[in-house]
């Protein structure tokens, strides 16, 4: 098999083995700036993306995702190969750590304080996150916020930002600096393309950020202007917990970390229909 691609994401080392040329090309493009550990390094996540077995190599080709030699997911169609790698890796990272409470959230930093954008897929956080990352904010993560119970800070895990459907063109138009990987059509989420993380955010892989503000975004098509509101702390805590992958694993330490998070920050809701005013509002609201 062709050489593996090893790179460092946040606190961990990932190694990808794959003979699929499109996956190798896209990974090399998107992870261009990441540190590359040598063959003697400890590898936290050993991933392989392989062609389907038997007839599935030729007839309606499929792709298989292997973590440490096992397949946690059913195979997908070959067209989804690259996004499959990113989704599968998300699952591996979110479910094999007890050092951080892993929140489904985008996290960006400016002036030393983190902006936390929690939310399920479809809330519009990826678009906001990509636009902010291209406007001078430092991207810590677009999907998996790593909250450390030990220091109360978010730790960086910058990975390519997954953009879906209309958001791809919105971001392409938004900034000429946007480096986008190829679009994969016909995935179960529609068309997906990934934005390369700006080099500055990759360079700051080891610099955590203190929480500054939590904003629950919601994209409302056609909404003119913005609707913002304050969220009670207990409600914010419960909504954050719903977005946590490993609260039960961390138990009381995880709960305490969430309490400290909402205790030290203000939690807001933001409904928006247009990107520009939402960005301006987030700039102004940042502590």
State which residue, 6 or 278, has the beta carbon closest to other proteins. 6
State which residue, 77 or 135, has the beta carbon closest to other proteins. 77
Binding mask 63-102 for other proteins (x = CB under 8 A): -----xxx---xx--------------------xxxx---
13 interacts with other proteins by CB under 8 A: yes
Judge contact between 141 and 159, C-beta under 8 A: yes
203 interacts with other proteins by CB under 8 A: no
152 interacts with other proteins by CB under 8 A: no
Q: Determine the interface stretch with other proteins among 38-46, 158-166, 265-273, 276-284 (rule: CB under 8 A).
A: 38-46
Spatial separation of the C-alpha atoms in residues 153 and 185, rounded to whole Å:
37
Task: Extract the tokens encoding 25.
Answer: 């090309």
Q: Are strands 113-118 and 161-164 parallel, antiparallel or unpaired?
A: unpaired
**Binding-site member from 3, 111, 222, 252 for other proteins (CB under 8 A):** 252
**Full 3-state SS string of 42-71:** CCCEEEEEEECCHHHHCCCCEEEEEECCEC
Judge contact between 48 and 41, C-beta under 8 A: no
Spatial separation of the C-alpha atoms in residues 134 and 261, rounded to whole Å:
26
Neighbouring C-beta atoms of residue 275, cutoff 10 Å:
19
Q: Determine the interface stretch with other proteins among 131-139, 241-249, 268-276, 278-286 (rule: CB under 8 A).
A: 241-249
Which residue is it, tokens 């190829």? 182
226 interacts with other proteins by CB under 8 A: no
User: Where on the chain is the footprint of other proteins (CB under 8 A)?
Assistant: 11-13, 39-44, 46, 68-70, 74-75, 96-99, 232-235, 237-238, 241, 247-252, 255-256, 259, 263
């Amino acid at each position: 098999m062709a050489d593996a691609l090893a790179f460092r994401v946040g606190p961990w080392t990932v190694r990808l083995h794959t003979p699929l040329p499109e996956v190798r090309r896209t990974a090399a493009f998107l992870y261009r700036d990441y540190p590359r550990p040598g063959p003697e390094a400890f590898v936290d996540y050993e991933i392989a993306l392989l062609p389907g077995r038997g007839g599935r190599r030729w007839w309606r080709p499929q792709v298989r995702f292997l973590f440490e030699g096992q397949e946690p997911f059913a195979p997908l169609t070959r067209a989804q190969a690259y996004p499959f790698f990113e989704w599968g890796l998300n699952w591996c990272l979110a479910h094999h750590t007890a050092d951080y409470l892993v929140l489904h959230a985008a996290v960006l930093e400016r002036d030393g304080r983190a902006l936390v954008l929690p939310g399920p897929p479809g809330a519009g956080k990826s678009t906001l996150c990509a636009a902010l990352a291209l406007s001078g904010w430092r991207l810590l993560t677009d999907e998996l916020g790593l909250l450390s119970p030990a220091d109360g800070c978010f730790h960086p895990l910058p990975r390519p930002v997954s953009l879906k459907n209309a958001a791809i063109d919105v971001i392409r138009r938004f900034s000429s600096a946007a480096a986008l990987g190829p679009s994969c059509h016909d995935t179960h989420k529609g068309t997906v393309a990934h934005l390369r993380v700006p080099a500055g955010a990759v360079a700051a892989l080891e610099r955590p950020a203190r929480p500054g503000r939590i904003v629950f975004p919601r994209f409302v098509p056609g909404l003119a202007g913005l609707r913002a509101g304050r969220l009670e702390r207990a409600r914010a805590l419960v909504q954050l917990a719903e977005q946590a992958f490993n609260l039960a694993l961390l138990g009381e330490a995880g709960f305490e970390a969430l309490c400290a998070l909402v205790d030290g920050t203000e939690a807001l809701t933001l409904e928006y229909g247009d990107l520009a005013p939402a960005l301006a509002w987030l700039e102004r609201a940042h502590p």
